[in-house]
Structure 1
Amino acid sequence: MKTAVFVFCILVSGLISCKVAYADWVEMKNGDRLSGIITGTENDKLIINTPYAGSIALSWKEVKTFETDSPVVVSLSDETTLKGTVTPAEDGRISLRIGEILETVSFPLEEVRSINFKPAPPVQTKGRINAGVNISEGNTQTKTYHLDAEAVVRTVKSRYTIGGELNYEEDEGEETVDDALAYLKYDYFLNGKWYLFNNLTLEKDEFKDLRLRSFAGAGVGYQFWESELSNLGIELGVSYVNEDFEEANDENYAAGRWAVNYDRYLLEKIIQFFHYHEGLMGFEDTNDIVIRSRTGFRLPLSNNFLAGAQFHYDWDNSPAPGMENYDKKYLLTIGYSW
């Protein structure tokens, strides 16, 4: 008898735990319904943690209604902040049960600005450093070294970025690659999305006859997303370009600049895809085009270490005489992030 009672209690407690663990649900405008734990909103997405697919980000515009079993903090467009459990109401609205007296407030979904919003710390820092080495000896004697790094400091209104790259190769004791890149950028946010920027980039490549290319400029950017899971920003501005060659005639010109910076975690933060693209086009001579592109994947390992695979593509539409227009690099790296 005692055994039966014990088993019954275990079953009941298990059922109660399952109900408590996954009592929230969301109904989409197309009729789909998901159950789990609603953790909040992020980048115009409602995040629900499901027992069968992990965290799922749902477009807020496609949410019809939802319900929570535990209290959540709801911020409205008029700066009002309320805390309570959400219950469904008529289409396009939700109700919030507030406090022990269960006072109910109803409002349209479009008035909700955020759910369980977590203010960012006043200063945030992040960065990474990656290295790749390949040394072959015997019948083939080659040495390849790569290093890239970037650090970002973010406050509510400002973002500071510094980074660089180094590449060096030898084949049978002779240098075949020797290039370096360094960049600085400052962004001032006018609001949560739009920002103004200043940037400076320095680049040298011995095997492109390029002693130093420098360009500095300013412009405007728009940050579509900025979070731990995904980031997307675009920029448009003007720059002044100075090219100092070893043998060819030096050049300087004003140019338009554009840039795209995108990264996103895939498969529940198992792997991160990234793509950076930056271009310059001269105002006086539109054949003066320079493009720098970095695309790849980062695989987080333990203790902030990560593995990476990168593809670098650089295009110079008007290279020094006798030089190729493009350079390609395929890289495998090991790095550290913070």
Structure 2
Amino acid sequence: MPRSASVSLLSLSIALFSAPVLADTVWLKNGDRLTGTIRVFDGSKLLLQTDYGGSIPLDWKKVATLESDHELLVKMGPVDGERAKSLLAAEPGKVTLANGEAPKTVELAQIEQIMKPKPLVEDFVWKGNIDLAMDYKRAESDTDDYDVDIDTQARHGQWRHNAQAEYNRELKDDVVSTDNWSTEYALDRFLTEKLFWQGRLEYKRDRVEELERQRTVGTGPGYQFWDDELGAFSVATLANRSDYSFSNGERNRFYELSVKWDYNRYLVGKTVELFSTGEVGRPLSGAADFSLDAEVGLRYKVTDWASLNMKAEKDVVSGAEGDLDETRYTLGFGVGW
């Protein structure tokens, strides 16, 4: 019997007689077999959740075949995907998508993503991160720097609640050089699967800069481009009313149009997360030229809940009384859920 046929029969025999009924199974090219729950495949790593080793990222090039009793979305390209009721082990380098009476065997090399299909509405989903960064420098000039960020999101039915809070404080030789905090709450009402309407409230307080207080109330439409196991991306266009208060007693109230974005993408089997949030706005009057409040960063997951993070933040108000232009770089740790 040819060797290739022997290997194929051996693979099928293992699939039929050795695999646990309720566990997903991955066979590697070196002969190893791992069981657990397939979480996601992002193009390079297959993430297998196990009760003996936590989340294990597997090199896709080392996978011979796999099987699963769970419904999974298998994508052969960036757009097109097929819902498979289950995956069945096939000969090395292939997998069979079982979907009713027409199973289809495909090459593993053709698959770009595998993930759990996300329902249109889940009853309740809550996720978020708390990031903490601290920097202590003892030299001719002593510096203490603290940064705390909280970002959380809850989805219930057609409603999504978004909340953010941040606190920054820096001392140089016991003199406060940065001391500010901000908080924001936004409520999204989904009109369709992707289109939503947002209302939001934001408040910023700075005890050092000339621009002491910023208050913003806004509303407008938004669009959710995607929201799945590998990340999410949404954009909202808002009409805002902003109130600025300055340390010299001056006040400005004006209306502006702004664009907000919220992006995150998991890489390398969800061990690395690239994220960016922000808003750029332009007043309808001459109160300021433009405003920008944005951050971009990376998180590296050390465990299922703990991570290291690196961020860059930019806060600009140009053309107003007491221009603001701040840039911060932080490195710290955090927890997520």
1:10–1:233 Cα change, 3 Å: closer
> Which of 102, 106, 121 lines up with 1:86 in the alignment?
102
Structure-2 residue corresponding to 1:193: 194
Task: Name structure 2 gaps, 5 residues minimum.
Answer: 1-5, 20-24, 28-37, 48-58, 64-72, 90-97, 106-114
Structure-2 residue corresponding to 1:110: none
Structure 1 counterpart of 2:13, which letter? I
Structure-2 residue corresponding to 1:59: 77
Structure-2 residue corresponding to 1:16: 13
1:241–1:174 Cα change, 3 Å: same
Structure-1 residue corresponding to 2:174: 173
Q: What are the superposed Cα offsets for residues 62-108 of structure 1, whole Å, 9 maximum, x if unpaired? A: 679x997649xxxxxxxxxx96253459xxxxxxxxxxxxxxxxxxx
Question: In structure 1, what is the Cα distance between the partners aligned to 2:287 and 2:77?
Answer: 41
Structure 2 counterpart of 1:163, which letter? Q
Structure 2 SS opposite 1:16: helix
Question: In structure 2, what is the Cα distance between the partners aligned to 1:122 and 1:68?
Answer: 24
Question: In structure 2, what is the Cα distance between the partners aligned to 1:301 and 1:41?
Answer: 18
Q: Quick check: 2:254–2:287 contact (8 Å CA) kept in 1?
A: no
Question: In structure 2, what is the Cα distance between the partners aligned to 1:204 and 1:301?
Answer: 33
Question: In structure 1, what is the Cα distance between the partners aligned to 2:150 and 2:275?
Answer: 15
Tell me by how many angstroms 1:141 deviates.
1.2
Q: Quick check: 1:280–1:289 contact (8 Å CA) kept in 2?
A: yes
- The answer as to 2:308 corresponding to 1:332 is no
Structure 2 counterpart of 1:191, which letter? T
Of residues 129-138 and 116-125 in structure 1, the stretch that sits farther from structure 2 once superposed is 116-125
1:335–1:265 Cα change, 3 Å: same
Of residues 264-273 and 214-223 in structure 1, the stretch that sits farther from structure 2 once superposed is 264-273
Superposed, 1:252-267 pairs within 5 Å as: 252-267=253-268
Structure-2 residue corresponding to 1:98: none
1:52–1:208 Cα change, 3 Å: same
The alignment-based identity, stated in percent, is: 18
Q: What are the superposed Cα offsets for residues 180-204 of structure 1, whole Å, 9 maximum, x if unpaired? A: 1100000000011000010011012
Question: In structure 2, what is the Cα distance between the partners aligned to 1:285 and 1:208?
Answer: 21
1:142–1:41 Cα change, 3 Å: closer
Question: In structure 2, what is the Cα distance between the partners aligned to 1:196 and 1:145?
Answer: 35
Structure-1 residue corresponding to 2:291: 290
1:272–1:263 Cα change, 3 Å: same
Structure-1 residue corresponding to 2:219: 218
Q: What are the superposed Cα offsets for residues 149-170 of structure 1, whole Å, 9 maximum, x if unpaired? A: 0111102200001111110001
1:51–1:292 Cα change, 3 Å: closer
Question: In structure 1, what is the Cα distance between the partners aligned to 2:221 and 2:159?
Answer: 14
Structure with max Cα Rg: 1
Relative contact order: is structure 1 or structure 2 higher (C-alpha 8 Å, sep ≥ 6)? 2
Tell me by how many angstroms 1:41 deviates.
11
Superposed, 1:225-244 pairs within 5 Å as: 225-244=226-245
Structure 2 counterpart of 1:332, which letter? L
Q: Quick check: 2:149–2:165 contact (8 Å CA) kept in 1?
A: yes
Question: In structure 1, what is the Cα distance between the partners aligned to 2:170 and 2:39?
Answer: 49
1:138–1:116 Cα change, 3 Å: closer
Question: In structure 1, what is the Cα distance between the partners aligned to 2:204 and 2:141?
Answer: 30
Q: Quick check: 2:167–2:181 contact (8 Å CA) kept in 1?
A: yes
Q: What are the superposed Cα offsets for residues 238-269 of structure 1, whole Å, 9 maximum, x if unpaired? A: 01000111115210001112111111011221
Structure-1 residue corresponding to 2:185: 184
Question: In structure 1, what is the Cα distance between the partners aligned to 2:80 and 2:155?
Answer: 31
Tell me by how many angstroms 1:139 deviates.
2.9
1:40–1:173 Cα change, 3 Å: closer
Structure-2 residue corresponding to 1:275: 276
Q: Quick check: 1:187–1:195 contact (8 Å CA) kept in 2?
A: yes
Structure 2 SS opposite 1:221: strand
Structure 2 counterpart of 1:329, which letter? R
Tell me by how many angstroms 1:13 deviates.
4.3
Structure 2 SS opposite 1:185: strand
Q: Quick check: 2:46–2:60 contact (8 Å CA) kept in 1?
A: no
Structure 2 SS opposite 1:191: coil
Question: In structure 1, what is the Cα distance between the partners aligned to 2:138 and 2:215?
Answer: 37
Structure 1 SS opposite 2:100: strand
Superposed, 1:91-110 pairs within 5 Å as: none
Q: Quick check: 1:69–1:86 contact (8 Å CA) kept in 2?
A: no
Q: What is the TM-score of this pair, normalised by structure 2?
A: 0.70
Question: In structure 2, what is the Cα distance between the partners aligned to 1:236 and 1:10?
Answer: 57
Q: Quick check: 2:287–2:320 contact (8 Å CA) kept in 1?
A: no
Question: In structure 2, what is the Cα distance between the partners aligned to 1:154 and 1:182?
Answer: 19
Q: What is the TM-score of this pair, normalised by structure 1?
A: 0.70
